[in-house]
Structure 1
Amino acid sequence: MEFWLQALQVIVLIFVLAVGLGVLAMVVFYILDRTQTEDAIRRNYPVIGRFRGLFTELGEFFRQYFFAMDREEMPFNRAQRNWVYNASLAKGNTVAFGSTRNLNIPGTPIFMNAVFPPLDDQYASTEPMLIGPYCREPYAAPSIFNISGMSYGAISKPAVRALAYGAKQAGIWMNTGEGGLSPYHLEGGCDIVFQIGTAKFGVRDEDGNLDDDKLRAVAAHPQVKMFEIKLSQGAKPGKGGILPAAKIDEEIAAIRHVPMGRDAISPNRHKEVHDYDGLLDLIAHVREVTGKPVGFKTCMGSADPWFDLFKKIRERGEESAPDFITVDGGEGGTGAAPMPLIDLVGLPLREALIRMVDLRDLAGLHERIRIVAAGKLVAPGDVAWAICLGADFVTSARGFMFSLGCIQALKCNKNTCPTGVTTHIPSLQKGLVVEDKKARVAAYAKSVIGEIETIAHSVGVAEPRQMRRRHVRVVLDDGTSVQVNELYPSVQLGVEGIAKARGNKMFEAALERMGGT
């Protein structure tokens, strides 16, 4: 009995001390809040005003897990994320009862199933496509769906390693992003597209100019199949990349050829490229030095300026053309970008892609220049839609981030990613186990490709690149739908015939801007 009495006294004492400390803390917070001048809410409502900041911080969490419906969140909703999670685990992605997608929202694509689709023995897998026929080392790209640019530095070492190994297993390419080529890109054995950003990270001299010796050293790796010159990206057109100094260690500094202790900020454009002549000269130079296909990545603001590029190509000859063009939509993502640019600048991919495809085809370069679509394309329907519009390849960054375990915590720019994808804090990186995640990366890629082929078979063609604009409809403002080829007639020179477009005033005017027939 005496023991229990003593225990009760200790509990009471602890409780009294806790209450006392709590009251003391509230008094301290009250004084601090009343005397500070930065926050009006805390100054007028001491102590309880602090809860506003807490609830604001936790709002994203509660919306994501408790309040938002499956199709409501941005930039990606729960239904999209769950599809990727299931695909990366090689689980069945069948659903029951009915679709939760609202098919009356303007812009929604609806694929047109065939009455008599191909039989099982008439199906075909996507064939490799040749890129860079005028190069010393052309690239027969095996996959229609690939990994978009994510720099080592913007994402972590284990993330790069898992993506590289997963890409090899799936037979897809991996874009380095503008941060240079690391050993972790190479160790997986996958095909690599080296991106040359405006700061020339990895292939620059001390003054930030392109260093041909370093360029040759990169090209000497057999895994490096192509070079992509980054003009702009959808998340921040008109502004270069931003890697905070906190995310730059000695290894990243050595790979990028930048000093420690300073933010690595890319210029808003290549300083030696003032016009389309300069762009074509740079493409020709990189192609000559490396011997490999060279293209560029851009976010379009309007189709008008790009007429001049294709006119220049027609004047110089098709050998001068870029081997591929990556079209990034204004809805593209990034690790860090100013809100006005990420929200308001750049054409969405559904507009930009179709314009670039038509310009290429109008110039008679359908078989010469390959079009790569990028920008919020994570699910098979997104990819199939882009192919119907004319893309030859599709790349995704955030889809593969989800396959690595990304939970859309929106902390990419703070070095505190809870899943280890975009952080360089070792304790957080431990959550990303390469052996497990590389299998998920491969499974996700294979699932997307397999279901794209399923959509292709459903609309009545043997393989995805046979899909055309006539195979998909788009929902209009009044809730009705129309075939995309009725809104945007396709002009594929030498494919569907230029004769069909003759007499069309818009076609004739566009062709005239490119220098005539």
Structure 2
Amino acid sequence: MGTWVMLGLQFMSALFIFALGLGVLFIVYLYIRDVTQTKQAIRRNYPVIGRFRYLFEKQGEFFRQYFFAMDREEMPFNRAERSWVYRAAKNVERMIAFGSTRNLEPPGSILFMNCAFPTLEEDAVPISDVTIGPYCKHPYTTHSLFNISGMSYGAISKPAVQALAMGASRAGCWMNTGEGGLSPYHLEGGCDLVFQIGTAKYGVRDEEGLLSNEKLREVAAHPQVKMFEIKMSQGAKPGKGGILPGGKVTAEIAAIRGIPQGEASVSPNGHPDIRSPEDLLSMIQRVRDVTGKPVGFKAVLGDVKWLERFFDLILDKGEAVAPDFITVDSADGGTGAAPQPLMDYVGLTLKESLPLLVDMLVERGLKKRIKIIASGKLIVPSKVAWALATGADFVTSARGFMFSLGCIQAMQCNKDTCPTGITTHNPRLQQGLDPADKANRVAHYHKYISYGVGLIAHSCGVKEPRLLRRHHVKIVSDHGLSVAMDKLHPMPEERSYVRAEDIIATSESDLSQAVGQSKLD
């Protein structure tokens, strides 16, 4: 009896050791497979254990039925929106079943008004071209509705910039450099670029930190650089300049920006040489004269009295001096680092500021001259379509394209510890982000945004997205019933403005005629 027990124990021990060995070999196999694959940054940076993220994500829909928040309750981007971006970027199934998880009743909810006779596929037309900067030596014409917003090299990593640039080239959209200057990684992707001039003038500053005409010409000499954007303020931190911690200021980034290595890069909270509407108009004209390319500015709207003065100046001088575009950013925009009081409490959201800006331009007859670019949490087709219907000509997004790269909203952008390699300069973490693979995801995401906006447009009965108008949208009001957006924000009639000197000349002419007629009488 004892012998059989001993044999049984030995067999069980051997079986356990064999199973343990198989387990170890299996873990080694998973480890090797994870560190050599380039599709998923989390698995590459955190081999084996990173797989649990996908298991938990898959099981999450079941656990959320009983324990956790639903898809639409996370912030700043809920799980439903992020999930759509992930699926679009991976070019996998984007259909859903059983019903929307979106609550359609809260005030402010957007509803598109479908047409009884939607646009048939054979009647749809391609997205129309738009020309920016008709008075420039080198105007820019593009059809892309959706483009990559400003993300500086430094705020995001080298492989992230490479992936975005290559992806933008494949998608046919533009990429904004952010205020950190023009890096070789922006150029190597082959995409159209918008060079952003921040308050510190990184990349185009002289030794005193002032704007350099010579360096402007050097940047403009690159055929890929299509436009210049003067950043007055940014969504998450209006009234505060760009912030890049010293640990992220590498030798290369320092050289591109023209600042000391290892020291925190903190931009002024405003342009020292732009202190009035007159100064802004002069700066726009200066950059346009030097570069020959379209020039506009980016701002978060708060107080708008300065804009009234700014537009009056344009009407006084003639529309040729106007900015070629205005990028209106939202108070709920994003950034890698910002003081919480600014991020939470300063500036208008896009829901209020976009129709306000559009109406100001329409009233003054400047809407066709000055193109509007909308930016701020517009990462899914419905929100892009809303912006177009409100009056925007283009939409840009930074965080949407970060999600397409694999961002998991870890909220560590300012700590140099981003687990997906997007906002870190740690080589070990960057290795998980393969630019060639992620570039395809960027292009897929752009493709399905455009496709989704087209679906909405055709459902509303128009032939292409740029024909969407405010009457195609209703907004749920406080009492639970929807109100047409053209009633909530009625589009003003264009008024004919004339310059002050024309009024004076006309008055003098009338007076002379009256005097002459009096003498005849």
Using the size of structure 1 for normalisation, the TM-score is 0.83
Q: Give CA-to-partner distance per residue, 1:337-387, whole Å, 9 cap, x none.
A: 000000000100000001111111111112100000000100000100001
Contact 2:236 2:334 in 1 (8 A): yes
Q: How does 1:397-416 map to 2 (within 5 A)?
A: 397-416=398-417
What is the alpha-carbon distance in structure 1 between the residues aligned to residue 490 and residue 502 of structure 2?
Answer: 20
What's 1:13 paired with?
none
The one-letter code sitting in structure 2 at the alignment partner of 1:315 is: D
What is the alpha-carbon distance in structure 1 between the residues aligned to residue 214 and residue 412 of structure 2?
Answer: 37
What is the alpha-carbon distance in structure 2 between the residues aligned to residue 203 and residue 196 of structure 1?
Answer: 8
The one-letter code sitting in structure 2 at the alignment partner of 1:372 is: I
What is the alpha-carbon distance in structure 2 between the residues aligned to residue 120 and residue 82 of structure 1?
Answer: 27
The one-letter code sitting in structure 2 at the alignment partner of 1:76 is: F
What's 2:271 paired with?
270
Please report how far the alpha carbon of residue 63 of structure 1 lies from its aligned counterpart in structure 2 after TM superposition: 10
Q: How does 1:211-290 map to 2 (within 5 A)?
A: 211-290=212-291
State the secondary structure of the residue aligned to 2:217: helix
State the secondary structure of the residue aligned to 1:177: coil
State the secondary structure of the residue aligned to 1:417: coil
What is the alpha-carbon distance in structure 2 between the residues aligned to residue 193 and residue 269 of structure 1?
Answer: 20
Contact 1:199 1:270 in 2 (8 A): yes
The one-letter code sitting in structure 1 at the alignment partner of 2:419 is: P
Q: Percent identity?
A: 59
State the secondary structure of the residue aligned to 2:360: helix
Q: Give CA-to-partner distance per residue, 1:190-247, whole Å, 9 cap, x none.
A: 0000000000000001211001111100000000000000000110000100001100
Please report how far the alpha carbon of residue 91 of structure 1 lies from its aligned counterpart in structure 2 after TM superposition: 1.4
Q: Give CA-to-partner distance per residue, 1:309-350, whole Å, 9 cap, x none.
A: 111110111011000000001000001000000000010000
What's 1:432 paired with?
433
What is the alpha-carbon distance in structure 2 between the residues aligned to residue 232 and residue 145 of structure 1?
Answer: 21
The one-letter code sitting in structure 1 at the alignment partner of 2:102 is: R
- After superposition, the Cα gap between the structure-2 partners of 1:71 and 1:516, relative to the gap in structure 1 and judged at 3 Å, is farther
Please report how far the alpha carbon of residue 261 of structure 1 lies from its aligned counterpart in structure 2 after TM superposition: 2.4
CA RMSD between the two structures: 2.3
What is the alpha-carbon distance in structure 2 between the residues aligned to residue 516 and residue 490 of structure 1?
Answer: 28
Contact 2:277 2:306 in 1 (8 A): no
Which deviates the most, 153-162 or 111-120? Answer: 111-120
Q: Does the alignment pair 1:386 with 2:387?
A: yes
Q: Does the alignment pair 1:168 with 2:187?
A: no
Q: How does 1:367-382 map to 2 (within 5 A)?
A: 367-382=368-383
What's 1:74 paired with?
75
What is the alpha-carbon distance in structure 2 between the residues aligned to residue 315 and residue 386 of structure 1?
Answer: 30
What is the alpha-carbon distance in structure 2 between the residues aligned to residue 145 and residue 217 of structure 1?
Answer: 28
Q: Give CA-to-partner distance per residue, 1:48-107, whole Å, 9 cap, x none.
A: xxxxxxxxxxxxx99999622100000001001000000001112111111111000111
Q: Give CA-to-partner distance per residue, 1:386-431, whole Å, 9 cap, x none.
A: 0110000000000000000000000001000000000000000011
Q: How does 1:45-444 map to 2 (within 5 A)?
A: 67-444=68-445
What is the alpha-carbon distance in structure 1 between the residues aligned to residue 98 and residue 499 of structure 2?
Answer: 53
- After superposition, the Cα gap between the structure-2 partners of 1:301 and 1:129, relative to the gap in structure 1 and judged at 3 Å, is same
State the secondary structure of the residue aligned to 1:179: coil
What is the alpha-carbon distance in structure 2 between the residues aligned to residue 136 and residue 114 of structure 1?
Answer: 42
The one-letter code sitting in structure 2 at the alignment partner of 1:355 is: L
- After superposition, the Cα gap between the structure-2 partners of 1:275 and 1:449, relative to the gap in structure 1 and judged at 3 Å, is same
What is the alpha-carbon distance in structure 2 between the residues aligned to residue 485 and residue 421 of structure 1?
Answer: 40
Q: Give CA-to-partner distance per residue, 1:227-285, whole Å, 9 cap, x none.
A: 00000011000010000110011100011111112111100111011101100000000
Which deviates the most, 482-491 or 373-382? Answer: 482-491
What is the alpha-carbon distance in structure 2 between the residues aligned to residue 224 and residue 165 of structure 1?
Answer: 15
State the secondary structure of the residue aligned to 2:284: helix
The one-letter code sitting in structure 2 at the alignment partner of 1:411 is: Q
What is the alpha-carbon distance in structure 2 between the residues aligned to residue 129 and residue 512 of structure 1?
Answer: 27
Contact 1:475 1:482 in 2 (8 A): yes
What's 2:33 paired with?
none
- After superposition, the Cα gap between the structure-2 partners of 1:515 and 1:162, relative to the gap in structure 1 and judged at 3 Å, is farther
Contact 1:310 1:514 in 2 (8 A): no
Which deviates the most, 64-73 or 376-385? Answer: 64-73
Contact 1:311 1:514 in 2 (8 A): no
- After superposition, the Cα gap between the structure-2 partners of 1:103 and 1:516, relative to the gap in structure 1 and judged at 3 Å, is farther
Contact 2:359 2:492 in 1 (8 A): yes
Please report how far the alpha carbon of residue 515 of structure 1 lies from its aligned counterpart in structure 2 after TM superposition: 11
The one-letter code sitting in structure 1 at the alignment partner of 2:277 is: Y
Please report how far the alpha carbon of residue 492 of structure 1 lies from its aligned counterpart in structure 2 after TM superposition: 5.5
Contact 1:235 1:334 in 2 (8 A): yes
State the secondary structure of the residue aligned to 2:136: coil
Q: Give CA-to-partner distance per residue, 1:108-155, whole Å, 9 cap, x none.
A: 110000111222221012112000000000000220100000000000
State the secondary structure of the residue aligned to 1:178: coil
What's 1:491 paired with?
492
Contact 1:307 1:514 in 2 (8 A): no
Q: Give CA-to-partner distance per residue, 1:454-482, whole Å, 9 cap, x none.
A: 11111111011111100000011111100
What's 1:467 paired with?
468
What is the alpha-carbon distance in structure 1 between the residues aligned to residue 344 and residue 120 of structure 2?
Answer: 45
- After superposition, the Cα gap between the structure-2 partners of 1:136 and 1:492, relative to the gap in structure 1 and judged at 3 Å, is farther
Contact 2:248 2:262 in 1 (8 A): no
State the secondary structure of the residue aligned to 2:105: coil
What is the alpha-carbon distance in structure 2 between the residues aligned to residue 513 and residue 299 of structure 1?
Answer: 28
Contact 1:363 1:514 in 2 (8 A): no
What is the alpha-carbon distance in structure 2 between the residues aligned to residue 313 and residue 70 of structure 1?
Answer: 47
Contact 2:316 2:499 in 1 (8 A): no
What is the alpha-carbon distance in structure 2 between the residues aligned to residue 358 and residue 516 of structure 1?
Answer: 25
Using the size of structure 2 for normalisation, the TM-score is 0.83
What is the alpha-carbon distance in structure 2 between the residues aligned to residue 87 and residue 399 of structure 1?
Answer: 11
What is the alpha-carbon distance in structure 2 between the residues aligned to residue 512 and residue 298 of structure 1?
Answer: 27
